[in-house]
Structure 1
Amino acid sequence: MENIFNFSNELQGKIALVTGGTKGTGKAIADRLVEAGATVIITARNPPAEEKPDQVFISADLSTVEGTRKVIDKTLQKFGKLDILINNLGGSETKGGGFTVLTDEDWIQSLQTNLLSPVRLDRGFLPQMIERKTGVIIHIASIQAKLPLYDSTLPYAAAKAGLLNYSKSLSNEVAPKGIRVLTVSPGWIMTSASEKMMERIAESSNSTKEQAAKSVMDALGGIPSGRPAQPEEVAELVGFLVSPRAGYLTGTEFVIDGGTIPTI
């Protein structure tokens, strides 16, 4: 069977949603999908620093039931469908110091943001994908699902491990119905959120940001490539995975970590 793909405009006519799409990796992914011809919706609590005519912004707190419902309703009302869902929203705002300093509120907030938000969005958008027998869902997880940093991001790591398991299970259920579900697990990405994490670790350990960064590198066992990833590198992988070129890929985790995870 011979397939002919148009790489330059391969997502023309597709409607895509990128959560957490106003900065960092989410912004890079949104820009990459626009370049491929998609109409892109981005969500976050706060508007992007620069509005773009080829992107639609929906303000919402996706850690809440109300926030996810708002995004689902507004998207389907405006476009009538969603072809590509990138569950990129995630992050850790919990204190460093291990399990003893974490409260129920810390755990609940991390689970709501990193696990339940994508679960709710999938549940809201999947019915129309199944009806049309087409669609792609990408869950942005983390290598911390398998390589947790217990001193600084324990709830985040646990939530991402849950997301990884859920993503695989969902793919098995909906692949026969024409929907592809994939997971992308980045290692350390150089974003503004990474900078803030270094500040929190430094504060809790009474050290400098440079020492905090080294402690993260040491905890990860080092990065063979010698540096964190750039957001655009992750976006390029996502751009391929949602394209027709990846039509036979589903139920798989793609790790992009510069070689950080030391096992196969």
Structure 2
Amino acid sequence: MTPFLTLKGKRALVTSGTRGAGAATVRLFSELGAQVLTTARSNPADWEGAQFVAADLTTAEGCESLAAAVQDHLGGVDIIVHMLGGSSAPAGGDRALDDAEWQREIDLNLMPAVRLDRALLPAMEAQGIGVVIHVTSIQRSLPLPEATTAYAAAKAALSTYSKSLSKQVSPKGVRVARVSPGWIETESSVELAKRLAAEHGVDIEAGKQMIMDALGGVPIGRPSKPEEIANLVAFIASDRAGTITGAEYVIDGGTVPTA
């Protein structure tokens, strides 16, 4: 019997695939039969996953080297998952953000997708089939003004870019979709919960609750697990989602309070 979900024979690039939801996506894609290439700035010492190429995707040169590696390692690509993202901006609202901070957020959360798509989509269009998934964030519509203004704005730009790109390339057989996570229980978010717990003299569960409260509450009562993000990404990437393009799928435990 044919399994419900398979990526057998697909060649996939997953950026930022050594931790968190990216690593979960790499594992799941591999289990589903895809040939996977992933990347981060440096190769983890204990890495035993998919093929790996070190690249700094915040630079044009890093994106160029990764695009070349896709051809060298995979001979082309059928699925691109832009998982890379994050923020190092200081708290303090917009007045804490100088031009350099804004540029760092854009270089991390928007430009890698733009540059890699520009390099890799022509071949996808030529083969007449492909899937591009941009991982955005609920912060694009639910920013935290004290801490995530620049990150949220960059993710909003990524979402708008993705929608526009879908209109351009979908008639040529390339689907483009977005996955918009809320809080994910990654290594870094657990560390944040631990830090908050220590600062307030409470246990880690109370630290997690502080994060959920800052988001306005998570009705499901917990963050998403990396594997749950990967499940959604894999479905959209599969042939089962053959008419899904131009859409954004929120996976946030009900955090965003509007439909």
What TM-score, normalized to structure 2? 0.92
Partner of 2:75: 80
- Equivalent runs, 1:246-261 vs 2, <5 Å: 246-261=241-256
Partner of 1:26: 22
- Equivalent runs, 1:91-130 vs 2, <5 Å: 91-130=86-125
Residue identity over aligned pairs, in percent, reads 48
Partner of 1:223: 218
Give the deviation of 1:12 after TM superposition.
Answer: 1.4
Alignment check: 8 A CA contact 1:5 1:244 kept: no
Q: Distance in 2 between matches of 1:258 and 1:78?
A: 37
Give the deviation of 1:215 after TM superposition.
Answer: 4.6
- Equivalent runs, 1:180-259 vs 2, <5 Å: 180-195=175-190, 213-259=208-254
CA RMSD of aligned residues (A): 2.2
Unaligned ranges ≥5, structure 1: none
Moved over 6 A (4+): 199-203, 208-212
Alignment check: 8 A CA contact 1:17 1:41 kept: yes
Alignment check: 8 A CA contact 1:33 1:239 kept: yes
Q: Distance in 2 between matches of 1:152 and 1:26?
A: 23
Q: Distance in 1 between matches of 2:171 and 2:58?
A: 30
Give the deviation of 1:200 after TM superposition.
Answer: 8.4
Partner of 2:65: 70
Does 1:16 find its partner at 2:16? no
Partner of 2:140: 145
Q: Distance in 2 between matches of 1:213 and 1:172?
A: 39
Q: Distance in 2 between matches of 1:151 and 1:200?
A: 18
What secondary structure, in the 3-state scheme, does the structure 2 residue paired with 1:183 have?
A: strand
Q: Distance in 2 between matches of 1:198 and 1:247?
A: 39
Alignment check: 8 A CA contact 2:37 2:73 kept: no
Alignment check: 8 A CA contact 1:96 1:201 kept: no
Partner of 1:58: 53
Unaligned ranges ≥5, structure 2: none
Does 1:133 find its partner at 2:98? no
AA aligned opposite 1:168: K
Give the deviation of 1:150 after TM superposition.
Answer: 1.2
Alignment check: 8 A CA contact 2:35 2:74 kept: no
Q: Distance in 1 between matches of 2:216 and 2:244?
A: 30
Does 1:39 find its partner at 2:35? yes
